Amino acid sequence: MGSDAIQKGRLAMNPEIWRYIFDTSTNLVFLHDAQFRVLLANRAYCRAASMSEAEAQGKPYWEVFPPGDGPLPGCRDTVDHKGHDNSREEVRVGAKLFLSSGNTVRDDQGKILFALHILSDITALRQSEAALAESEQRIRHIIENARDAIIILAGESRTITAWNPAAEAMFGYSQEEMIGRLLHEIIAPPRFRQAARAGMEHFATTGEGVAIGKTLEWVALRKNGTEFPIELSLSALRISGHWHAIGIVRDITLRKTAEDKLRESEARYRFLFGNMLEGYAHCEMLFEQDTPIDLIYLSVNPAFEKITGLKHVIGKKITELIPGIRETNPELFEIYGRVSLTGQPERFETFVAVWDMWLSITVYGSSQGHFIAIFDDITTRKRAEVTLQNMAAQYHAVFESTSDAITLLDENGFFDCNGSGLRMFGYPTREEFMGKQPIHLSAPTQPDGEDSMSLVNERTAMALKGGSHRFEWLFRRPDGVEFFGEVLLTAMDLYGKRVLQGTVRDITARKQAEANLAEQMEELRRWHDTTLGREMRILELKHEVNELLAQAGQPPRYPSAEE
């Protein structure tokens, strides 16, 4: 051996070289004796332990790193001669996970010289494994819970290798029935099988086919023999040098049914479009620097022509058909333009002077400045509203000007009262009166001694049945003052519910006058009865005197009553 080789051999055995390799390892490496005391430790181990090698030496390694209450179980077993002289176990330190590989070195008598531990950080590895497992689990979950059938075919054998629960439900075959079988011989109707076989043969060698990478509509066969429409998406995947076809199948029976219904709906729509009472116009808005200046009619229905009186409007501008419309009805252009740009529907009412007509217009925006306007002639309604407003104003004038109290009552209490009523019942404001019940306005008992509560319920129930009911009632104001009122109750339907209108006239003065008159009449009767009785007694005495004189044969002293 030459001197160079000898020199290299010495270099290889040099402890400094081994120490250099020991310290440059990214793994945590340390040696311990039979009592688990640290003998040597590399730099990575010392950094993890946050102490120098000198500080670590001689200490039980669980007081250095990895921290614990004693030696690792596998390490203890190997030192105690239980099992092999090496151990592998995972140790978690905080957020990190280490793989501890331990090897015990013994002398010829089996006595432990030292044990070597290598701690490898496997945190990222385990995280990757967990992520991979989670990903695989998600994929399995997606496949198992997919609403679409997922089927995988081995191109070389043309047989099924995967058949998910959705496929079982869709075709009626279990996974056990389908794995390893030829797909097209089972689910393809007989008329399509020859073409399917040829397609699979071509796919097995090339990974290509007319359906690969496409979504097609097809007809499939269920286990019970019925055909149904499907949507099939096919993709190719090469695994271990062989082509596999992945098919995603969707039952489109409902969609096809919906399409049929849609065609029927479109036919009905065309019928309604031609026969609807509302006017319909599809228009394109014309802008000049975002300002709406005109519109073109693209389509209208017969009702539009009938309502507006316009004929042959398709392709024409509104300013040509109705000169001055932009000046008389600027809101039309503002709203049409806004809806055309934003797509947000709006509804409004406008008066078109040129037609002497009120229109209710609902506008729906679409793309590229188009919009749809639906017209309804509301002239009759608007005129009725004006008439109603006039009547309401007249009613309000009467309501407030009459000296009688007028109230409106529903199940929640009084909800309206005129000014005369507020003054009559002693309430300063309408807010204080609202919600009160009739019993709140009544004296506890009526003059005949009956309880007001029972009478109130009786009169109210009777009035709600219909007709008009007039009676006298003793009221009491909040200040305790009582007064008599003549009440007229009338039931009516208002605001979609049954209510009672009450008209009350204060008859306290009249009742007092009647009481005074009755008292005077009673006094007169007593006087009359007293005077007349005295006169009758005198006549009786005169008659008795005449009778006594007659018995004595003498003429009467007093004239008879007839005389």
**Residues 489, 414 contacting (CB under 8 angstroms):** no
pLDDT on residue 8:
46
Which residue is listed with tokens 């005198």? Answer: 538
| Six-digit token string for 298 | 């693209």
For the chain, give the percent of residues with pLDDT over 90: 28
| Six-digit token string for 56 | 């670590």
| Six-digit token string for 544 | 């008795």
DSSP string, 300-366: E-HHHHHHH---S-TT-BHHHHSTTHHHH-HHHHHHHHHHHHH---EEEEEEEGGGTEEEEEEEEE-
Q: Say whether pLDDT at 13 is over 60.
A: no
Give 377's strand partners. Answer: 359
pLDDT on residue 414:
93
Burial class (CB in 10 A: 0-12, 13-18, 19+), 346: middle
Please, what sign has the CA dihedral across residues 124, 126, 132, 138?
A: negative
Q: CB neighbours of 430 closer than 8 A, spacing ≥ 6?
A: 416, 417, 422
3-class state of residue 404 by DSSP: coil
Q: Shortest CA distance to 372 belongs to which of 300, 312, 315, 305?
A: 300
Burial class (CB in 10 A: 0-12, 13-18, 19+), 527: exposed
pLDDT on residue 559:
76
CA distance 273 to 422: 56
pLDDT band at 424 (very low <50, low <70, confident <90, very high): very high
As a whole number of angstroms, the longest Cα–Cα distance in the chain is: 210
CA distance 506 to 286: 69
CA distance 490 to 346: 43
Q: Say whether pLDDT at 87 is over 80.
A: yes
Q: What are phi and psi of 252, to 5 degrees?
A: -110, 25
Mean pLDDT of 551-560: 75
For the chain, give the percent of residues with pLDDT over 70: 93
Please, what sign has the CA dihedral across residues 375, 376, 381, 385?
A: negative
pLDDT on residue 2:
47
- Omega into 66 within 30° of 0, i.e. cis? yes
Tens of pLDDT along 372-391? 888 888 888 888 877 777 76
**Residues 336, 403 contacting (CB under 8 angstroms):** no
Q: Say whether pLDDT at 267 is over 60.
A: yes
Give 247's strand partners. Answer: 151, 234
Q: What is the CATH number of domain 277-382?
A: 3.30.450.20
pLDDT on residue 46:
94
225-229, 264-268, 352-356, 496-500: least confident range: 264-268
197 alpha-carbon distance from chain centroid: 52
Mean pLDDT of 66-79: 88
Q: Say whether pLDDT at 58 is over 90.
A: yes
> Edge to edge, what strands does the sheet with 497-506 contain?
413-417, 405-410, 497-506, 482-494, 468-476
pLDDT band at 502 (very low <50, low <70, confident <90, very high): very high
Q: Which fold is adopted by the domain 142-255?
A: Beta-Lactamase (3.30.450)
- If one compares 535 and 341, the residue with the highest pLDDT of the two is 341
pLDDT on residue 9:
45
Q: Would 11-126 and 277-382 be classified into the same CATH topology?
A: yes
CA distance 198 to 200: 6
Tens of pLDDT along 317-339? 988 888 888 888 888 888 888 88
| Six-digit token string for 137 | 């689990």
Buried-exposed string 478-514: b where 16+ CB fall within 10 A, e elsewhere: eeeeebbbbbbbebeeeeeeebbbbbbbbbeeebeee
Q: Say whether pLDDT at 5 is over 50.
A: no
pLDDT on residue 475:
94
Q: What is the CATH number of domain 402-506?
A: 3.30.450.20
Which residue is listed with tokens 């009526």? Answer: 446
3-class state of residue 220 by DSSP: strand
Neighbours of 221 (CB within 10 A): 17
pTM of the model: 0.37
- If one compares 369 and 417, the residue with the highest pLDDT of the two is 417
pLDDT on residue 1:
44
**Residues 364, 372 contacting (CB under 8 angstroms):** yes
Q: Which amino acid is at 364?
A: Y
| Six-digit token string for 527 | 């006087």
**Residues 118, 29 contacting (CB under 8 angstroms):** yes
Domain boundaries, the chain: 11-126, 142-255, 277-382, 402-506
| Six-digit token string for 222 | 């269920």
Which residue is listed with tokens 């003054």? Answer: 423
Q: CB neighbours of 170 closer than 8 A, spacing ≥ 6?
A: 149, 222, 249, 251
pLDDT on residue 244:
87
Tens of pLDDT along 235-253? 888 877 888 888 889 998 9
pLDDT band at 82 (very low <50, low <70, confident <90, very high): low
Question: Residues 152, 157, 161, CA angle at the centre, nearest 5°?
Answer: 30
When the pLDDT of each residue in the chain is averaged and rounded to a whole number, the result is: 84
pLDDT on residue 288:
85
Q: Say whether pLDDT at 514 is over 60.
A: yes
pLDDT on residue 533:
67
Q: Say whether pLDDT at 21 is over 90.
A: no
- If one compares 523 and 42, the residue with the highest pLDDT of the two is 42
pLDDT on residue 52:
93
pLDDT on residue 6:
41
Mean pLDDT of 177-199: 88
Give 468's strand partners. Answer: 490
The Cα-based distances of 248 to 169, 321, 392, 515 in angstroms read 14, 57, 69, 100
pLDDT on residue 342:
82
37-41, 130-134, 179-183: least confident range: 130-134
Tens of pLDDT along 438-480? 999 999 999 888 899 989 988 888 888 888 889 999 999 999 9
pLDDT band at 56 (very low <50, low <70, confident <90, very high): very high
Which residue is listed with tokens 């039309």? Answer: 332
**Residues 165, 153 contacting (CB under 8 angstroms):** no
CA distance 40 to 105: 14
Q: Which fold is adopted by the domain 11-126?
A: Beta-Lactamase (3.30.450)
